[in-house]
Amino acid sequence: MAKRQGSGGMIFAASVLTVVALGTFAYKMAPSFQQGFNQFFGLSSGVTSHNLAITNSANTNPSVDSGSGLSRTKAPNFTLTDQFGARVSLTDFRGKVIIMAFVDSTCTNICPLTTASMLAAVRQLGVAASDVQLLGVNANPINTSVADVRAYSEAHGLMNHWLFLTGSKQQLSKVWQSYHMYSGIVNGQIDHTAGLFVIDQRGRERKLYLTQMSYAGTAAQGQILANEVATLLPKGSANLHKPVQLPPLTPTLPGQLVSVNGKSGGSTVQGQSAQVANKAHLLMFFGTWLTPTATVRASLLALNQYASDAKKHGWPQPMLVDEAATEGSPNALRTYVSTLPTLHYPAVIDVTGEAADAVTAQDLPWIALVNAQGKVLYTHDGFLPLKTLEQQIAKHVRS
């Protein structure tokens, strides 16, 4: 998906940024209620009951896609090369349910959300996931090497959880066309259909999903995928667990921000709950997997100087916000920060993704200036040189 420039101006209901001490890395869920519901109605799994709760609401929630039914025609076969350098054909997986997505090997916006929902789906399926195969098809017409799909797989913790397939541009184009998926270059950026197919054990197309640009929606999208896959598996084999809630229709700050122990300073209280109320903030949304590494590192360290200048000028203090949905490990930020010189500002994890959605983040990195009333004054897609950043902050704080 091509990068999209965001704009400020939305007012959100909450003006408090809550930073919760690092503990359980989890989304909102109510397993005890679900178990009681299943026992009362004599259900052997969470599939039927949770479909009632999530699928009906998904039709009106813009953060997720409830899917479009397909005609059960044979999914077109193809042969490409995976991240290990092995040749792979779609027909190799007859007898398994396939979740197959079209993913840009260098994507920093919607593709990490697609693959996060795929991982969430197999986690929901538990042991039944052994009957499911996750596949990615490279949707990038330029970065088509095995090294490219391997790098994406490693960055997002997918290396041993899926097969990311690539080939020459000509080979990939044939696959895109056979599945009616678009891929091209628009204004210098890769643009493609964020399509995901569910294919049954007989190789028939059953459902098509289009990933929505919502960080908060990945867990719920995974639940929707798991529900669909469970209907294709032998009855009773898929015992879904840990049901999740749909994200709110109107995302608000703070969501759930979790501090990390490490070398971050600023207003983060390490190991304890802290609250930053009625204060403006400069939020830098990012992922530890972003490249080039030297540029990312330099940009984060430059925020130390901004933090110092902000104190002198009365500007909002910065906060580094890691998007959990895109990371391969809940410890990614803690590990990353430990490799940096001391940061003089807080580093937190956006556990639910609601904070990113509240500021309409369309990509990573994403800069958002939020005032004390919770209003987004300014957003920018990507890092900025320190001088340019400070000029923009001064301009929007005055206005």
Residues of each annotated binding site for Cu cation: 107, 111, 192
Task: At 373, list the tokens.
Answer: 């009333």
Question: What angle separates helix 31-41 from helix 47-58, to the nearest 10 degrees?
Answer: 120
Cβ-contact 21, 380 below 8 angstroms: no
Calpha distance 103→143 (Å, rounded): 12
Contacts of 199 (CB under 8 A, 6+ apart): 75, 90, 97, 98, 100, 205, 206
Residue 89's φ and ψ, nearest 5 degrees, are -115, 150
What dihedral angle (degrees, nearest 10) is formed by the CA atoms of 155, 198, 186, 9? -80
The binding site consists of 107, 111, 192
Terminal C-alpha separation, the chain: 33
Which residue, 353, 49, 395, is CA-closest to 366?
353
β-pair partners for 165: 137
CB 261 within 8 A of CB 271: yes
Are the C-beta atoms of 262 and 337 separated by less than 8 Å? yes
DSSP 227-260: HHHHHHSPTTS----S-BPPPPSS--S-S-EEE-
Phi, psi of 339 (to 5 degrees): -90, -5
Question: b/e map of 96-118 (b: 16 or more CB within 10 Å)?
Answer: bbbbbbbbbbebbbbbbbbbbbb
- Give residues with Cβ within 8 angstroms of 350, minimum separation 6: 215, 255, 256, 257, 285, 321, 322, 323, 324, 356
Evaluated on CA atoms 391, 265, 157, 212, the torsion sign reads: negative
Helical packing angle, 47-58 and 218-232, nearest 10°: 130
Alpha carbons 121 and 129: distance in angstroms, whole number:
9
